[in-house]
């Protein structure tokens, strides 16, 4: 009996067709039986807020052979079969999850050594205004590489690793920019983000200017406290290991790692700054400020010139693999 029911269920699943293009469905995606191709197309369209225009007055045939010929009609068909936009917007999955995990050898480092930042990747004297964007890319890459050198991070599910990095990359970047004194020339950064003399008084330009000032203020506050390399490493660990991040498979272990980072920083400050009991609290109070700088604004200011229209998530995936 169980064999019959199982066989019937399997053949029924194989016979299911994509309601958008008629290809073999891989399952129910966003509330509708659909293939992986249409699932991915719908997800990209919603997440990137893409607008399509049909050249044939919206009368194109959408089937397996012609589904890629007109994106406008394909997207219209997705909506007609009731694919759920909200399901895409509330979904949380890493873009890097499509890549197979390599099997990195376990690093023979203790936890405290793992939080020590890599210091051989940049000569501060070379960080001039002219190559600030190249330096920014290197800082982002080394932030990813730093995380991938923490043994306990590698022990998390691969999906969780990718999600945590995608969630925290902008905060890690700001901390690295502060640690390595990334030069911030407001005029250069404004031009890089598309601000010109013609639109300098626009609402968008004012917002970008305020974000740059906020970025500078954060760096100044860290510099005023003379944060050292170990403290920066612990702060990075605190922003990396966020157990409240949506979509994690092992939030309990992530929370444990954040607690360990906090205890490590407390012990370090207690032993190296015994006369400054308020230092630990001051450093923790600086963390919320990192979230005031919008991640997309950082992407536009520091990375748009070097990566063009490529989404930052794709860049992170490449860095994630190569690190």
Q: What is the model's pLDDT at position 323?
A: 58
What pLDDT does residue 89 have? 64
What's the alpha-carbon Rg for the chain, to the nearest Å?
A: 24
Question: How many other β-carbons are positioned within 10 Å of the β-carbon of residue 36?
Answer: 14
- The b-or-e profile of 55-75 (16+ CB within 10 A means b, else e) is eeeeebebeeeebeebbbbbb
The mean pLDDT of 24-42, rounded to a whole number, is 87
Query: Residue 262 pLDDT > 80, yes or no?
Result: yes
* Segment 258-281 mean pLDDT: 92
Mean pLDDT of 94-101: 47
Count other Cβ atoms within 10 Å, centred on residue 258.
18
């Amino acid at each position: 009996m169980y064999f019959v029911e199982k066989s019937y269920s399997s053949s029924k699943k194989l016979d299911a067709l994509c309601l958008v293009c008629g290809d073999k469905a891989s399952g129910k995606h966003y509330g509708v039986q659909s293939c992986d191709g249409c699932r991915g197309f719908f997800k990209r369209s919603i997440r990137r807020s893409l607008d399509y225009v049909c050249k044939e007055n919206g009368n194109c045939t959408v089937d397996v052979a012609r589904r890629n010929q007109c994106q406008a009609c394909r997207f219209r068909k997705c909506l007609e079969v009731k694919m759920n936009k909200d399901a895409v917007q509330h979904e949380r999955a890493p873009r890097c999850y499509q890549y197979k995990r390599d099997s990195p050898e376990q690093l023979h480092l203790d936890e405290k050594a793992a939080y020590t930042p890599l210091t051989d990747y940049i000569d501060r004297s070379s960080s001039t205004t002219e190559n600030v964007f190249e330096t920014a890319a290197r800082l982002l890459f080394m932030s990813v590489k730093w995380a991938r050198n923490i043994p306990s991070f590698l022990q998390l599910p691969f999906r969780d690793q990718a999600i945590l990095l995608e969630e925290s990359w902008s905060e890690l970047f700001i901390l690295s920019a502060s640690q390595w004194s990334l030069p911030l020339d407001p005029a250069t950064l404004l031009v890089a983000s598309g601000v010109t003399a013609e639109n300098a008084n626009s609402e968008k330009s004012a917002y970008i200017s305020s974000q740059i000032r906020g970025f500078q203020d954060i760096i100044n506050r860290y510099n005023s406290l003379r944060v050292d390399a170990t403290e920066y490493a612990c702060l990075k660990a605190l922003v990396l290991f966020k157990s409240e991040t949506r979509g994690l498979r092992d939030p309990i272990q992530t929370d444990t790692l954040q607690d360990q980072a906090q205890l490590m920083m407390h012990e370090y400050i207690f032993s190296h700054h015994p006369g400054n009991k308020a230092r630990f609290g001051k450093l923790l109070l600086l963390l919320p400020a990192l979230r005031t700088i919008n991640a997309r604004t950082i992407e536009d200011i520091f990375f748009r010139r070097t990566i063009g229209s490529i989404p930052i998530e794709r860049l992170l995936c490449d860095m994630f693999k190569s690190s």
